Amino acid sequence: MLSQRRLERRPKARSLLDRPILTRAFWDSFRKLDPRWQARNPVMFVVEVGAAATTIFFIRDLVRHGGSPGFDFAISAWLWFTVVFANFAEAVAEGRGKAQADSLRRTKSDAYARVLREDGSEERIPSAALRKGDRYVVEANEIVPADGDVLEGAATIDESAITGESAPVIRESGGDRSAVTGGTRVLSDRIVVRVTANPGESFLDRMIRLVEGAQRQKTPNEIALSILLAGLTIIFLIAVATLAPYSVYAGTHQSVTVLIALLVCLIPTTIGGLLSAIGIAGMDRVMQRNVLAMSGRAVEAAGDVDTLLLDKTGTITLGNRQAVEIISAAGIGARDAARIAYLSSLADETPEGRSIVALAQQAGASLDSARDKLGQAPDGATFVPFSAYTRMSGLDLADGTRIRKGAPDSVLAWVRESGGTPSEELSPTIERIARGGGTPLLLAHNTLIVGVIYLKDILKPNMTERFNRLRAMGIRTVMITGDNPLTAATIAKEAGVDDFLAEATPETKMELIKREQSSGRLVAMTGDGTNDAPALAQSDVGVAMNSGTQAAKEAANMVDLDSDPTKLIEIVEIGKQLLMTRGALTTFSIANDVAKYFAILPAMFAVAYPAMSVLNVMRLSTSQSAILSAVIFNALIIVALIPLALRGVRYEPKGANRVLFENVMLYGVGGIIVPFIGIKLIDVILAALHLT
Amino acid sequence: MTALGWLQAIAFFLIILAITKPLGTYMARVFEGERTWLSPLLSPVERFIYRVCGVREDDEMTWYVYALSMLAFSLIGLVYLYLLLRTQKWLPFNPAHVDDMAPDLAWNTAVSFTTNTNWQFYSGESAMSYLSQMAGLAWHNFVSAAVGIAIAVAVVRGLIRTSTKTLGNFWVDITRCSLYVLLPVCIVVGLFLVWQGMPQNFHAYQSVTSIQGFAQSITGGPMASQEVIKELGTNGGGFVNANSASPNENPTPLTNFVEMLLIFAIGAGLTYMYGKMVKDTRQGWAIFITMTLLFFAGFAIAYWAEAAGNPIVHHLGVAGGNMEGKECRFGVAGSALFATVTTDTSCGAVNAMHDSFTALGGLVPLLNMQLGEIVFGGVGSGLYGIIVFVVLTVFIAGLMVGRTPEYLGKKIERREVQFAILAVLVTPVLCLVPAAIAAVVPAGLATLNNGGPHGFSEILYAFTSTNANNGSAFAGLGPNVFYNLLTGVNMMFGRFAVAVPALALAGALAGKTAVPESSGTFSTRSPIFVALLIGVIVIVGALTFLPADSLGPIVEHLLMLQGKTF
């Protein structure tokens, strides 16, 4: 079996603390000392400048044999460590993405493509020479040379190189499953593909850039937070700088090294050093769920989502609705109705269509089955495909007979248009099916209503639980379905969604999104069809299924490689976690300053005002040890919090006020207490080792 | 501390609590342009003013037009007062033949009254003619208060309006504020003060011989009319040098009580007006409660420190609280309460010598101003000051619940954070810079009365008070050209470098749509939010000013315990 063949798969996600990742991060954290890199982060830039300045003072003291070079050395070393630790955090966060990018690069084929010329001839050219609009042929056991849409044929394709999923997928011309991705491998059959992306713009290229974070830009919230941190840095810069003249007034002199130490301790280095790591790790967590986010902005927006639009089919219910009953109209034989149902679905390849065929066959519609091949209309007949506008499908036979099945109101309208006067006798049946959560499909033969097909929806397990979770987060779920309002209401109630949009068309869906947005809500949705593209583009967070069309994937700001629509819920949680981690560490960072003041201020003025030793509540052994302990704590806390920054704070949906209270206690109050203990501990160790 | 002392504070607070709702409701009507019970009387006057000034009532202004109008209005007022002070010698109502003010002092005074600071580097008795007091200072007492309130109202409009660029009309707001809010109260309470014995005349100074046998010259003048707006508009500039410690400016314990009520009244009322205007009075009460907690915390420390007194004095056999520099009529509690009230707000009127407070007692007024005077605060400036703090708190708290933070449905994003930081964080810190200069240059030290940490407190207090537009003096610091110029700049900065970003913030907020509340939104009326808001205010304030304060009042206190004073 094909599905058991294992080709080169995208490697499994590595642990962040994988040795190669750590080794690379170690070297990167020194490479990032480049001031041009640091300048992007005002807080850490100040630390680096401080580290450089204290180093100069250390050298000066060493040369002049004055001052206290030992102390200067210790301070400057720990300031350099502070910068390196922050760099390390960022480098580790980037590590997994970089490793993934490397392995993706290996899958990038530099093979040849078989281009189809206008005259139908084939030519072998390097795949890098393919341009948008070119057509190529690819066959079993060949690598797809470029992204494109299948024009002819169908093939099974192994996409594991991109998605990590080993089960092959079917790609065929027309419909919503026509997109192939460069770098994947054809397992069977032959397809003709039109190229949709120039080299360098392909899905794989984008994916490499994204996982590598090469184009990472600060997200809006990150910018706002950076401004807050920069503001705090300016404040502390002024507060510390003015301490020099104040000390002169008080009749004492402060060494620049001590002032820099105080400054670095006060500015929010904890959050400043971990901020970019948090952002990168957030993107990475999304990636680990096999979702490709086109920007950090999208992940952040996911945390803010107010309204979640979920397609009923595939998200709330299992994709395959099953036909369970064919009810014939009065005066129509059961077999006749079955036959018409059979014909109506012969060319309908949706799971629903196939289930109708199967049911009809059971009911005895075994006419000329030798000739009527599944997936092919009888000779001379034309298939009328389903569209979101007509909400019907069917067949026009060679003899002029027209058969339709579809949403009752659409079919009734069609019968009327065709000059018939449909009887309403089946209305109670339709209503019964709809009220039971099923989907009634009305079956028409020319101007005659011949029966109803009962399609039954099967809810996915555990969905109610997930919707409750979403509600606790303050997110409203809206089920989108083409069903009639009655059916929709029943399923909506059964599944536990807050609202539904029945008889949805691309327009009503778009309207709903715009309406929600105009009242200030952020909307997220999933989609895969070309029909979904405008709505995906309009929504704040649009997740396209990888199995979907190119148009959908381009319009969306995330692509789910697993094509699992329920993934959106996890993405929302990751987005929230991202913001929470930033908030928690900011609070922690600012709260830390209280203890640092109590460590450093009495130490600074021990000579001028010995009375201030009362404020040395931690009873730190000496002035130098107090200052050094605060600086060391400040550096080590960055390392200690790297796992939290990368993992994100725990998120439990339980109402904003509750979450706020818990986090204020944990990171606010905790942030005040922890450094008192930490600084004291370091002081004790320094004293025990006679280091000061 | 005595039960009576606490009773005074509690009675004071209860009356403020009682005033808050009716005054707030009334102000909400005034600023939403609705009819009030004074409309039949005042609306013809109002329309007349608009006609004369060519103001079109329904002309809406964007935030920068609003800010520019405010700045232009203030600039003209500043120049006017400067010219008045420079020419008062030749103008009428000058019975004491007061000379023209020196240019640097006139600049300092003109800035001071324009910015609602009322920092006084002069003595009213010897440096101001009655005309300057009435037409110069009292005028500014009214309009600078109205300007502050107008800005606050514009900021509130920024929060309630959606998808718009405009914040109201500056000229209409200051006119309505002066006519409907300030004037009626001043007329009524002014008469009350006259009844209590406050002078209101144009008499020449009276020469009397005191009981101790000294010859004394006593100022008369239109004092009551100026006194009431001095407190109501949180201006604080005394008619005479001794301010509300003088028997003429504060004749009885009752006037003392009423003066304190006037200081808090509008600030408290504005919190209710705010709740009313945002259509959720609990938002207003949350702010009111935040302010109340900070008020009582400040009073408790100041009262405790003053009642505990100075151990060095106790060793001399003098028991009891610290009565140095206090009026016996008001005592420790009355003085500590007044000092807390006047610095919670941007008033700066004093009924005792803050310089003579114990170190910790003096730290409370200093800290109150350093926190941004957001405890009821300066009229208007207190409300917009705390709203900016709320915006910052919401930003930090919002992140902690995993959502782009929003306040009253408005998302707090980059621009909001930027303006908020500028307004409440960066500007206050800037008073540390001139204080640092003053602490080391000869000109800064030349007029300093005390040395050591106490002298440093005097410098720090001067720049804190002017930066926060409070105007109360720690005293002990004499005027010279250096201080006149530097504190002048500081006052300008403290007023406009906060007001303009606050308006910009309002402008940014007005342009947004409001997001409906969901269970993902945390409540800005909950106790936890109030606690967090206090935490942010105190921690940010403390972190900024702790190094400076520790070299002033804090170390002075520690040294006092060791028996050293300065």
What distances in angstroms separate CA A633 from CA A33, A261, A630, one per listed residue?
21, 12, 5
Instruction: Out of B412, B413, B436, name the one closest to residue A242 (CB).
Output: B436
pLDDT at A9: 44
pLDDT at A368: 52
Q: Using 50, 70 and 90 to split pLDDT, how confident is the model at B195?
A: very high
Distance CA A13, CA A285 (A): 10
What does the domain layout of chain B look like in residue ranges?
22-281, 380-562
pLDDT digits (tens, 9 = 90+) for A660-683: 899 999 999 999 999 999 999 999
Q: Is A251 on the interface with B (CB under 8 A)?
A: no
Handedness of CA B196, B197, B199, B201 (dihedral sign): positive
pLDDT digits (tens, 9 = 90+) for B301-315: 999 999 998 888 888
Maximum mean pLDDT: which of A433-437, A553-557, B6-10: B6-10
Q: Using 50, 70 and 90 to split pLDDT, how confident is the model at A109?
A: low
pLDDT at B301: 96
Specify the range with the lowest mean pLDDT, choosing from A485-489, B48-52, B154-158. Answer: A485-489
What distances in angstroms separate CA A640 from CA A82, A88, B486, one per listed residue?
12, 12, 46
Distance CA B150, CA B70 (A): 9
AA identity, residue A23: T
Which position has the higher pLDDT, B509 or A371? B509
Distance CA B87, CA B94 (A): 11
A683 is catalytic: no
pLDDT at A371: 43
Q: What percent of chain B has pLDDT over 70?
A: 100
CA of A239: which chain B residue's CA is closest? B544
Tell me if A245 and B440 make a contact (CB, 8 A cut-off): yes
pLDDT at A5: 34
Is the pLDDT confidence value at B444 over 70? yes
Beta strands in A135-204 (DSSP E): 135-139, 148-152, 154-158, 169-172, 179-180, 185-188, 190-195
pLDDT at B284: 95
For residue A252, the distance in angstroms to the closest alpha carbon of chain B comes to: 12
What distances in angstroms separate CA A189 from CA A113, A139, A153, A185, one per listed residue?
16, 6, 8, 11
Instruction: Out of A231, A244, A664, name the one closest to residue B532 (CB).
Output: A664
Q: Using 50, 70 and 90 to split pLDDT, how confident is the model at B230?
A: very high
Is the pLDDT confidence value at B365 over 90? yes
Q: What is the mean pLDDT of chain A?
A: 84
Q: Is B414 on the interface with A (CB under 8 A)?
A: yes
Q: In sequence order, what are the residues at sequence separation of 6 or more whose Cβ sits closer than 8 angstroms to the Cβ of residue A458?
A: A317, A318, A320, A321, A322
For residue B29, the distance in angstroms to the closest alpha carbon of chain A comes to: 28
Distance CA B188, CA B210 (A): 33
For residue A186, the distance in angstroms to the closest alpha carbon of chain B comes to: 43
pLDDT at A376: 52
CB atoms within 10 A of CB B479: 17
Mean pLDDT for the stretch of residues B466-478:
87
Which residues of chain A make contact with B396, given a CB cutoff of 8 A? 228, 583, 586-587
For residue A396, the distance in angstroms to the closest alpha carbon of chain B comes to: 51
Is the pLDDT confidence value at B83 over 70? yes
DSSP string, B524-561: TTSHHHHHHHHHHHHHHHHHHHHHHHIIIIIHHHHHHH
What residues of chain B, 362 to 381, have a C-beta less than 8 Å from chain A?
A: none
pTM: 0.85
DSSP string, A370-390: TTS-TTSPPTT-EEE---TTT
What is the gyration radius of the CA atoms in chain A, in angstroms? 33
For residue A621, the distance in angstroms to the closest alpha carbon of chain B comes to: 21
Would you call A135 helix, strand, or coil by DSSP?
A: strand
Is the pLDDT confidence value at A375 over 50? no
Beta bridge partners of A126: A112
pLDDT digits (tens, 9 = 90+) for B535-548: 999 988 888 898 89
Q: How many CA atoms lie within 13 A of B379 on its CB side?
A: 33
Interaxial angle between packed helices A296-304 and A567-604, expressed in degrees from 0 to 180 and rounded to the nearest 10? 100
Q: In sequence order, what are the residues at sequence separation of 6 or more whose Cβ sits closer than 8 angstroms to the Cβ of residue A246?
A: B435, B436, B439, B456, B547, B548, B551
Distance CA B325, CA A675 (A): 42
pLDDT at B313: 87
CB of A142 closer than 8 Å to CB of A186:
yes
Distance CA A51, CA A45 (A): 10
What is the gyration radius of the CA atoms in chain B, in angstroms? 23
pLDDT digits (tens, 9 = 90+) for B330-355: 999 999 999 999 999 999 999 999 99
CA of B518: which chain A residue's CA is closest? A474
Tokens of A211: 């996982």
Instruction: Out of B399, B544, B551, name the one closest to residue A250 (CB).
Output: B551
What residues of chain A, 162 to 181, have a C-beta less than 8 Å from chain B?
A: none
pLDDT at A110: 65
CB of A97 closer than 8 Å to CB of A211:
yes
pLDDT at A396: 85
pLDDT digits (tens, 9 = 90+) for B371-390: 989 999 899 999 999 999 99
Q: In sequence order, what are the residues at sequence separation of 6 or more whose Cβ sits closer than 8 angstroms to the Cβ of residue A115?
A: A122, A123, A124, A125, A130, A134, A135, A136
Q: Using 50, 70 and 90 to split pLDDT, how confident is the model at A326?
A: confident
For residue A551, the distance in angstroms to the closest alpha carbon of chain B comes to: 30
What residues of chain A, 397 to 436, have a C-beta less than 8 Å from chain B?
A: none
CB atoms within 10 A of CB A28: 17
Interface A:B, Cβ pairs < 8 A = 216
Q: Using 50, 70 and 90 to split pLDDT, how confident is the model at A8?
A: very low
Q: What percent of chain A has pLDDT over 90?
A: 22
Which position has the higher pLDDT, A92 or A175? A92
Q: Using 50, 70 and 90 to split pLDDT, how confident is the model at A370?
A: very low
Tell me if B547 and A476 make a contact (CB, 8 A cut-off): no
Mean pLDDT for the stretch of residues B121-131:
90
DSSP string, B374-429: TTTTSTTHHHHHHHHHHHHHHHHHHHHTTS--EETTEE--HHHHHHHIIIIIIHHH
What residues of chain B, 344 to 363, have a C-beta less than 8 Å from chain A?
A: none
pLDDT at A3: 35
Dihedral angle, C-alpha A613, A618, A623, A625, nearest 10 ° = 170
AA identity, residue A260: I
What distances in angstroms separate CA A160 from CA A11, A107, A157, A557, B429, one per listed residue?
9, 10, 9, 22, 58
Distance CA A376, CA A379 (A): 9
Q: Is B412 on the interface with A (CB under 8 A)?
A: yes
pLDDT at A692: 61
pLDDT at A667: 93
Would you call A159 helix, strand, or coil by DSSP?
A: coil
What distances in angstroms separate CA B62 from CA A367, B68, B76, B203, B470, one per listed residue?
77, 10, 21, 48, 29
What residues of chain A, 472 to 511, have a C-beta less than 8 Å from chain B?
A: 472-476
Maximum mean pLDDT: which of A183-187, A340-344, A451-455, B484-488: B484-488
Model-level ipTM above the cut of 0.90: yes
Is the pLDDT confidence value at B564 over 50? yes
DSSP string, B315-382: HTT--SS--TTB-TTTHHHHHHHHHHHHHHSS----SB-GGGS-HHHHHHHHHHHHTTSTTTTSTTHH
What does the H/E/C string look like for B143-212? HHHHHHHHHHHHHHHHHHCCCCCECCCHHHHHHHHHHHHHHHHHHHHHHHHHHCCCCECCCCCEEEECCC
pLDDT at A6: 36
Tokens of A610: 């010995």
Q: How far is CA A172 from the centre of its chain?
A: 27
Would you call A625 helix, strand, or coil by DSSP?
A: helix
Preferred mutation among B400, B457, B564 to probe A, highest tally of A CBs within 10 A:
B400
AA identity, residue A302: A
Distance CA B137, CA A408 (A): 82
What does the H/E/C string look like for A547-596? CCCHHHHHHCCEEECCCCCCHHHHHHHHHHHHHHHHHHHHHHHHHHHHHH
Is the pLDDT confidence value at B107 over 90? yes
Distance CA A398, CA B292 (A): 87
The 8-class DSSP code of residue A155 comes to E
Instruction: Out of A476, A520, A586, name the one closest to residue B515 (CB).
Output: A520
Q: Which of B42, B37, B33 is nearest to B60 (CA)?
A: B33
Which residues of chain B make contact with A468, given a CB cutoff of 8 A? none
Tell me if A224 and B413 make a contact (CB, 8 A cut-off): yes
> Beta strand pairing status for A499-501 and A476-480?
parallel
pLDDT digits (tens, 9 = 90+) for A386-444: 776 778 888 888 888 888 888 888 888 888 888 888 777 888 888 888 777 778 888 88
pLDDT digits (tens, 9 = 90+) for B152-176: 999 999 999 998 999 999 999 999 9
CB of A76 closer than 8 Å to CB of A58:
yes
Mean pLDDT for the stretch of residues A447-465:
82
CA of A224: which chain B residue's CA is closest? B414
Q: In residues, how long is chain A?
A: 692
pLDDT digits (tens, 9 = 90+) for A650-659: 888 777 888 8
Distance CA A197, CA A229 (A): 41
Q: What percent of chain B has pLDDT over 90?
A: 70
Specify the range with the lowest mean pLDDT, choosing from A263-277, A386-400, B272-286, B489-503. Answer: A386-400
pLDDT at A10: 47
pLDDT digits (tens, 9 = 90+) for A517-541: 888 888 998 877 777 788 888 999 9
pLDDT at A586: 94
Specify the range with the lowest mean pLDDT, choosing from A22-26, A46-50, A316-320, A322-326. Answer: A316-320
pLDDT at A151: 86
Tell me if A657 and B528 make a contact (CB, 8 A cut-off): yes
Would you call A257 helix, strand, or coil by DSSP?
A: helix
AA identity, residue A354: R
Tell me if A659 and B401 make a contact (CB, 8 A cut-off): yes
Specify the range with the lowest mean pLDDT, choosing from A14-28, A523-537, B68-82. Answer: A14-28
pLDDT at A330: 81
Which position has the higher pLDDT, B262 or A356? B262
> Beta strand pairing status for A523-527 and A307-311?
parallel
Mean pLDDT for the stretch of residues A342-352:
78
Among the listed residues A311, A540, A560, A593, the single catalytic one is A311
Which position has the higher pLDDT, B166 or A470? B166
